[in-house]
Amino acid sequence: MDSLQAIDLARAGLVLVLTVAGPMLITSLIVGVSIGLLQALTQVQEMTLTFVPKILIMGLVLLLSLPMIGQALSTFMTRISDMIITGGA
């Protein structure tokens, strides 16, 4: 395996991490900002008001994105397996 293949593999790994974690991070950001805005407007500073909806919505997004995550991980593992079998060529 030469340096270009290693860089390409590292780049694919970073894209995989973004693919797996991205939907939940974006959802968490949107829900957090929305609830923060609601708390600022109503002046209700309750900690569970931010925690519970964020956990519920992130769980729902995780369930909805599981097929996409599984496909991405399977594709990456197939690529790694092929590189191991062929010796990195």
Q: What integer pLDDT is reported at residue 65 of this predicted model? A: 95
Residue 87 has a pLDDT of 82
pLDDT along the chain (89 residues), means of 10: 88 95 94 90 82 91 95 95 84
Q: How far is residue 17's CA from residue 12's CA, in Å, rounded to a whole number?
A: 9
Given this model, what pLDDT does residue 51 score?
A: 86
The CA distance from 51 to 35, in Å, is 10
pTM of the predicted model, to two decimals? 0.78
Contact 62, 26 (CB under 8 A): no
Q: Mutual orientation of helices 47-86 and 3-42 as an angle, nearest 10°?
A: 170
